[in-house]
Structure 1
């Protein structure tokens, strides 16, 4: 069974569509756990209405210490052997859960499986498709501009037993807990990439993630995490990383010099 965990706080704008996207999957072997942080808007009443009609919905509402704390509560309450997280403003592609459930029936434990994720802006436009095809630790610590990591949990699923190996989400981390968790997971799990779109992630102006990205704090924090996990590379991989870094810096210098040369030549012939 797949346990889908949705942390939410004052999410009345999206909670109904979140519940509906799971219902629309028409998947029998699921449970949807809503972990509400004590919302003061109509979120809880909407959850109650749906929970009264659908037995796969379970929920709690109590104060928490942030998103990571709510996610960890969901892990503790989950009954399924497969776990995923669906943020309140995101949604699945149709039939994703049935496909994932079938795949896990033949996967070794513990496994971590990743699909693609569409990224939408406020205007309902697709601005990118996240395709994290390279998921070794070495590949990921090269940098997100080289090999993107899974950008949203609606497009990845894993055996709940992985938390026994790598621990839960860091409660003190309110922004980069997903990346930190993934970098722990890829070191111990059977990791698989599926080139299919499974998730849809809304990058909405005004949300904490959007503000964090706009401020530049996200990039700084990611670089810090990647530096931390480079220490987990084997000696051979660390040597390869240093060689790659030197090559990448040299290539950047050469390309910059060539661009400057071409601009100089263009100005010369315009005279």
Structure 2
């Protein structure tokens, strides 16, 4: 029922534990697809050894164009109807995959389901809990946060270990954008929430190691991640219908409540002419 895809390159430090995490799920309906980018360390040897012991492990090793390309290869190889992406240094909570299979049995297609994710250090010390309970397009683009008791109630799911979706969703939105090396997951989620049945579960499913030396950590440390995300958001907003752009502009620039935003979305003729002019200008930038 479910295909877990793990892209990896020179990941001998984590690959064995990653394979074991899926094995320990004791899920009879899973296949684990490892897409190696031509590692020069012991990664492939470890994969071969585990694959010889466990038939649910499938793998390839060849040069690729980065993480997105590797995931796309995994999707093309996937034989099951549900997709999950597990990066080599991340891991699931106990019995998550059986829970996911149970949930999807009653969901319409295509669906995207999202749970909570523990964000931790390399040594698994908890930094915060990502609880992305608001998953509308406007919520994602505004990226609202509440920080209380080390719980970050952010719109964006921070890691794919905590979300799963129907493989058929890619027929509507395409595959992961290869050139979006740093924001490929954000690009995917923006498209996915508009083309699928989205449901949030207040359950912790994934664990995301956030530490120096990884692309996301290092990109955040330089501030470049904010630049990339802003560019992606601005490009995406231009593709939205006028009234959705109106909601986003109002929320960003005027201290309206969501109730007022909803009201004006239903009565666009009552928007002040000045705002209409600003929206036209904003849509062209």
Which TM-score applies when normalising by structure 1? Answer: 0.89
- Return the index of the structure with the highest Cα Rg: 1
Unaligned runs of 5+ in 2: 147-153, 257-285
Does residue 221 of the first structure (1) align with residue 228 of the second (2)? yes
Distance 1:240 1:164 in 2: 29
Deviations 1:162-193 (A, max 9, x none): 11000001111211100001101111100000
Q: Is the 2:115–2:163 contact (alpha carbons within 8 Å) kept by the matching residues of 1?
A: yes
Of the candidates 138, 146, 165, which is equivalent to residue 158 of structure 1? 165
SS of the residue 2:155 aligns to: coil
The equivalences for 1:1-271 within 5 A come to: 1-143=1-143, 145=145, 147-248=154-255
* Structure 1 counterpart of 2:283: none
Larger mean Cα displacement after TM superposition, 120-129 or 57-66: 120-129
Q: CA deviation at 1:240?
A: 2.1
Q: Cα distance 1:229–1:248, how it changes in 2: closer, same or farther (>3 A)?
A: farther
Q: Is the 8 A contact 1:137 1:233 kept in 2?
A: no
Cα offset for 1:235? Answer: 2.3
Does the Cα contact within 8 Å between 1:138 and 1:233 map onto a contact in 2? no
Query: Does the CA contact (< 8 Å) of 1:152 and 1:201 recur in 2?
Result: yes
Comparing 112-121 with 237-246, greater Cα deviation is found at 237-246
Alignment partners' CA distance in 2, 1:123 and 1:30: 27
- In the alignment, the residues of structure 1 paired with residue 174 and residue 145 of structure 2 have an alpha-carbon distance, to the nearest angstrom, of 28
Distance 2:105 2:69 in 1: 30
CA drift of 1:145 comes to: 4.5
Q: What per-residue deviation string (whole Å, max 9, x for no partner) do you get for residues 41-80 of structure 1?
A: 0000000110000010000011111111101000100001
Whole-angstrom distance in 1 between the partners of 2:33 and 2:110: 22
* Equivalent residue number for residue 270 of structure 2: none
CA distance in 2, matches of 1:221, 1:144: 18
Shift of 1:225: 1.2
TM-score w.r.t. the length of structure 2 is 0.85
Closer/same/farther in 2, CA of residues 123 and 97 from structure 1, 3 Å limit: closer
Which stretch shows the higher mean deviation, 210-219 or 222-231? 222-231
Q: How many residues align?
A: 249
Would you say the 8 A contact 1:116–1:129 is kept in 2? yes
Indicate the SS of the match to 1:25. coil
CA drift of 1:248 comes to: 4.7
CA pair 140-199 structure 1, distance change in 2 beyond 3 A = same
CA contact (8 A) 2:176 2:188 kept: yes
Contact 2:138 2:247 in 1 (8 A): no
* Mapped contact 1:141–1:227 kept (Cα < 8 A): no
Q: CA RMSD in A?
A: 1.4
